[in-house]
Structure 1
Amino acid sequence: MSRASFQNLRNPPSQKLNKRVCIRLRQDMPVGASGVDQVYTQPRERWARIQPVGTATYTESAQTDTAITHRIWLRKIEGVTDAHEIVHITSGSLYRVQRLADLDGGNDFTIVEVEQLK
């Protein structure tokens, strides 16, 4: 998984972390002869900021087959990979993690670039 760098973005003020999200690990488990069932483990709830990306970012990501539709700001979090999903608890929106990076190289915030699935 790629770890991007966001040198030109700034830490958001605390009041901007106004969405409650659940970060969960998705695992596909075989069922029967040819079925697959999703199992979700390691749920972690956090406050986050969810922001759609601009059209230039979306177009650039679509050309590399990693459709980035939103950026999600979280307080520093470890262990999140592209096997995780993020659910916006209030709206039920579902996002697939594409890549993440520390904001401005610091230890305070992580930005996760995601693709909206629902």
Structure 2
Amino acid sequence: MEYERAGAERKLQLQELESLRLEAYENSRLYKEKVKDVHDKSIKRREFQPGDLVLLYNSRMRLMRGKLRSRWDGPYRVEKVEPCGVFHLSHPSSSKLIKVNGHRLKLFHGEKMAKTRN
């Protein structure tokens, strides 16, 4: 009799533990969704048109070699815009196109370059 009652209590404890675990997973999922929404609201969408001049962020620059040197290279010209924030850039000194993510770009507010391509 004692064993049957202890077994029934243990089953109830396991079921309660399982429900607490599922509730914790659900709360974690809801929290992650809210944090993602807040993060997505803070992201600025970069909109560039073909022909715009932009600066490219160089994240691989070494800190010891010229700490005061700017990490922004350019200006580059936007040649082509693809969906999902992919941009094709051209530098005036080379004819190759570079494919970069829009998060690494910012608008260049300087002199207008003469268009080198025809």
Q: TM-score range by the shorter chain?
A: under 0.3
TM-score, normalising length from structure 2? 0.23
Report which structure shows greater RCO (CA 8 Å, sep ≥6).
1
TM-score, normalising length from structure 1? 0.23
Say which structure is richer in strand. Answer: 1
